[in-house]
Structures are given as structure tokens and as C-alpha cells.
Amino acid sequence: MKKLLDELSCSVSWTGDLYSDVMALLTHNSCAHTARHSTAVAAQAGKLAKRFGADQALAQAAGWLHDVSAIIPVSRRLAVARQWGLEVLPAEETAPMLLHQRLSAVIAADLFGIVETEVLSAIGCHTTLKAQATRLDKVVLLADKIAWDQAGRPPYQRRLERALGVSLDRAVLCYLDHLWQQRATLAALHPWFVAAYQELKASVGESPAAEEQNRGGHQSAPIL
């Protein structure tokens, strides 16, 4: 593990400032797009943390680091996960992109010295979430989805904005339900996502899509 991280970071001039060092590492490894996205996610995570009572500093740290595994080429992520001793789930083997959240948590701990378990947890589930997610887990997940890194507006944006006016859990369910409605088109159905969705649906209530159907509302076509 240390050898690969040394190779990827050996030319970085470390400053001791987390934001500066994460940006330097990403930029050095030709991940400027990820650096810009991570900056936006950290800013959004800080705002959501303040709004919903999570720790702003920890939220921002998780935002800066959530995609730091972009420095590992996609073609190598499955092999690297195994080399680093991660238990690769069948869904992650089918769609290795899903491993990036867990690889980022490893890098955050081993290269950046992050010891706060809540930060590592939020980084490690920011794509799929998981059952019994913490407030910080949910904040970072939503920050990543709000700080859309593709062209145009997120297809779930309006519905998510309405849900944020109700509660954090309602907003998280809104996003997870967006994925659930198109689960047949996903590259893989991660068990953490399924568990998180079912848990929130049971605790929050009816899914946003079902509510719209009951009201006779228009359901937008599945995307992603």
C-alpha cells in the first residue's frame, strides 16, 4: 500500500494544510476536474452541516477527500482494493467504480492521517450510503449529489430542494429513491445502497415517487 501511495505523492510539496495538500495531490496526478468538484462538495457539505447540525469542519474535510482515489486509474482500482486488503463485494467487482469511496477512505487515513472515524465513514459511503448512516454520512452524500459534476442540472434537483425543506432524511430518501426507480439500469446494485434505502423508507415513509403518483403528479423519466 505504502509503495503505491509513495509513487503517487512523491513529487507533492506537502504544506500541512489539508485543503492545499489534497488539491496538490489531485492536480499532480492530472485530476484537476476532481479537485474542482471536491472543492465544491466541501463548500456544500459545510453549508449542509451548518443547516442540519453536523460538524462543519469535519464535513468540509470529508468533502475535500471524498474522491481522492481519483489518483488511482479506474483500470487498477479492483486490483488495488484487493492489494490493500479490502473485501470486494460482488457489486464492486461488477462495477469497480463503486470502490472509489472505500479507496478514498483508505487514502484519507494512510496518506493524510485522518483519524476521525466519522470523517472516514462519510468518505467511505458517499456514493452508496449505508444502513445506520450518521448525520455526517448523509450530509456528505447530499453535498456530492448537489455539487453536480456533469453538464446541466441534476435530474433530481427540484425534488431534492423541496425535500431539503422538510428534513435531512427526507432529502436523502429523495436521492436514493431517484436511483431506486431506475435500479434496472444501474451497472450494479450495491447492497449498502439497498440497505440504506429500505431503512430510510421504513423510517421516513412513502417514497417521493410514490407520493407524486398518488397526487397524480408527473414522474420524470429515469436517468443515470
Three cell numbers at 78?
479492483
Is residue 221 in a domain? no
| Cα–Cα distance, 157 to 164 (Å, whole number) | 10
Find the domain containing 119 and state its range: 2-214
With bands split at pLDDT 50, 70 and 90, how would you rate the model's confidence at 148? confident
| Position 134 in a domain | yes
Query: What domain count does the chain have?
Result: 1
214 falls in which pLDDT band (50, 70, 90)? Answer: very low
Helices 191-204 and 168-180 pack at an angle, to 10 degrees, of 130
Q: Note the pLDDT tens digit of each residue in 19-72.
A: 999 999 999 999 999 999 999 999 999 999 999 999 999 999 999 999 999 999
pLDDT at 63: 98
Q: Is residue 224, in this structure, part of any structural domain at all?
A: no
Is the per-residue pLDDT at 220 higher than 50? no
Residue 81 maps to which CATH number?
Answer: 1.10.3210.10
Is the sign of the CA dihedral 48, 54, 57, 60 positive or negative? negative
pLDDT at 217: 46
Residue 194 lies in a domain: yes
In a domain, 53, yes or no: yes
Look at residue 8 and tell me if it is in a domain.
yes
Q: Under a CB-based contact definition with an 8 Å cutoff, are residues 136 and 50 in contact?
A: no
> 35, 70 in Cβ contact below 8 A?
no
pLDDT band of 150, cuts 50, 70, 90: confident
- Which pLDDT belongs to residue 221? 33
Task: Give the span between the Cα atoms of 197 and 50, in whole angstroms.
Answer: 24
Confidence category of residue 198, pLDDT binned at 50, 70, 90? very high
Tell me how far apart the alpha carbons of residues 26 and 107 are, in angstroms, rounded to a whole number.
Answer: 12
pTM over 0.75: yes
Percentage of the chain beyond pLDDT 90 is 84
Element (H, E) at 31: none
220: in domain: no
Alpha-carbon distances of 138 from 29, 130, 216, rounded to whole Å: 29, 9, 29
